[in-house]
Structure 1
Amino acid sequence: MSSALKWMPLVAALALAGCARDGYYDDRGVDYAEAEPSAPLVLPDSRDNRRYRDAMPVPKAQGAFVSQGDEFRVPPPRAMGAGSGVEAGGVAMREVGNQRWLVVGAEPGVVWSELEDFVAERNLAVTRRDADAGLLVTDQARFSVRPGLQSGASELRCEQGGGPQEGCLRALQRRFEARGATASASSLAVQRPEDRPRPLLTQQAGEWRLELPFDLERTWAELSYQLEADFALEGRRELLEQDVDAHVFLVDYLTLSARSEGMWETLTSFGGEDPQRIRLSLEAVGPERTVLHARSADDRELTAEDRRELLERLAGLLG
C-alpha cells in the first residue's frame, strides 16, 4: 500500500469534521446555549378542560410529614399510577359493611352545585339546606357532601333512615359520569384540601405509625379500595386477606431492605427476593383520627426503616 493511501482515512475524517464545523451537521448544543425565553402558550377560555392535562406530570409528596430529628428524610412522591384514586371529573363507589357512598374527583363546591341541580330537576322538596355543613335534606333523601380522603376529591352520600339509597347513588353516579364534574363551584364553605390536616408519620415508643385525620370506617373503605388496586403484584406486594370486623389487612410486601439486598443474594446464592408477611391494623383513637400500624406477621423482624418505608407508601395511597 502506498503512503498516500495510508493517509486517506485521516483525510476523510478531517473532511467530515470540517463539514460538521461548516454546518453540514447541525450542532444542537449551540441552540441551547443561545436559547431565549418566550411568552407561555395561552389557551382560549372556551376550551374543553377535560381534553387538556399535563403531558409529563410531576407527582407531589403526600402527607404533612415533620422532622423526626437527624434521621428525617424527605418523603417520596406518590408513584404515578399507584393505587386507583379517582381522577379529576371521575366518580367511583365506596362501601364498608352496609354503608355506601360516592367519591367524586372534584372539589366539594363543584359537587354541591351539581347536587343542587340534581335535586331541582327532580322537583324534590327541600326541607333543610346547610351549605356550610354540606347538608341537603329533602322529603325523600338526605344528601351530604364533604372533602374526600384524596386531595381534590369529595364524598357524596344519599341516605334515608340511616342507610344508603342505592337507586339515588346510581343516578348520581351516572350524572357525574355524563357531566364529568364540570359544574362551576358554588359558595359552599368547606375546608379546602390545602387547608385540611394530612396523614402524619410519627413514632411512639420507637415504633413508626401513620396517623390519619379521618374516622375509622372511611379510612378502612379507602385503604381497602387502594390495596386491592395497588397490592396486586405477586412476589412484590400482594393483598392476601382483609378482616372488616377487626379492621386488619394481611399483605405480602417486598421490604426496602429485601429489595436492596435482593440483587446481591441472587448473584451469590442463586436465591430470589422474598416478600415479608405483614399485618396492617387500623385503630380508632378519636372521632376523626385513626392510626395505622404495620407489624410482622411471620418469624422475621420488621425493621424500623422497612416499617417507615411501607407506611410512607400507604400514606401516598391515602393522600
Structure 2
Amino acid sequence: MRFAVFRLSFCALAVVLSSCSGIGLESKKIDYKTSAASKVPTLEIPPDLTSPTRDDRFAVPDTAGKGTATFSAYSGERSPQALAQQQSGVLPQVDKARIERSGNQRWLVVAGTPGKLWDQIKDFWQETGFVIKLELPEAGVMETDWAENRAKIKEDALRNLLGKVIDSLYSTAERDKFRTRLEPGLEPGTTDVFISHRGMYEIYVTEGKDQTKWQPREPDPELEAEMLRRLMVRLGSDDKRAAAQIAAAKEKPADRARLSRGNDGAGTLEVQESFDRAWRRVGLALDRVGFTVEDRDRSKGLYFVRYVDPEVDGQKKDDGFMSKLAFWKASGPDPKIKYRIYLKEVGSSTTVQVLSFEGGVDQSETSKKILSLLYDQLK
C-alpha cells in the first residue's frame, strides 16, 4: 500500500515538472560533456573579488601639461561620450577572423600567429566541454577527447528530476571529437584555422540488446561550421556577424579532382588548385578520414602520416562508414605502418601521391585506397 502511494505521488510530481519544463526554456543544439574522467573547469571570479562600482566624486582631474584644472575640463573627462571613447580604445570592435570555403570545407583566416592563437583555441575547447587529448604545437595540431552532445538527450520531467542526482543514467549513443589544425596563412600576419569532426555511434550487436559496440559515422561539415562560428565569437567577433559570415560563405565552384594511374601502376590524385591551397585542404582531408599527421615538411611537400586503428583509439572495429580504412583485413599490412603523402605543384594544379615511409612510390592496394579517400574529400 505504501509503495502504491509513493508511486502515485512520484507520478504526480513528474506530471507537474513536465508542465513546468516547457515554460520559458530554449533547447540547445550543442551541449557537450566529455567522456573523460576529469574536466578542466573554466575560471570564475569569486564573488568577494567583484570590483565595486567606482565613485567619481573624489577623482583627481588630470592636469598634466595644463598647469591648472577647471571644472568644465573635469566634467568633459567624465562625460559618457568620453568614457565610451576610452573604453572603445581598450576593446576595439574589430573582427579578427573571417570564413573561407572551398567545396564542403570551411576554415577561419585569423589575424595573428599560430603561437599567439594556440592558448585561446585551447581555452575555447575546454569551455565548450572537451578535454584536450593531444597537443602538437610544432605540427600545429590539437585534438580533443571523445565527448557526447548532451543536447540530444530528450528533455522530460523524469530526466530533469533524476538527471541532477544520477546524471550517468542518461547518455547518448553518439560521441564526437574535433581536431584543430593551425597553418600560417597565405596573407602575412594571419593563421588559417581548420576544424575537422570525427564521430562514433553505438549499436547493439546481440538480439538481447545486452552487448554494444561503437563504430564510426561520417564527418559532419555543418557541425564543423558551427564550431568555427563559435570560435569566431570566442576570438572577439560579434555573434550576429559571425553567423552572417558562415551563411555568406557560399560554396565556390566545385574544385576538380581526378584520380589516375601512371605507367608504373602507381596512383596519382590531381587537384586543380595551387600548391598552397591544396596543401591546406589535403591536411584537413587527412584529419577527416582518420590519419594522424606526425610530422610535415612543407618545403618538400610531405605529410608524414599513420592511420589510427579505431580499436587502439578506444573504439572497436566496424563494418560501417570507415570500415574501408581497415586495410589489414584484406591485404594484411600492419596498421602501424607509416606513409608519406607527397604533394607537387605542376603548373596551376597539384598532384598527390602516396609514398612508403622510406620514400619510394607506393604501388599497393593500400595506396589506392588512401587516394580514393582523399579524392572523396577533395572532389
TM-score relative to the length of structure 2: 0.33
TM-score relative to the length of structure 1: 0.38
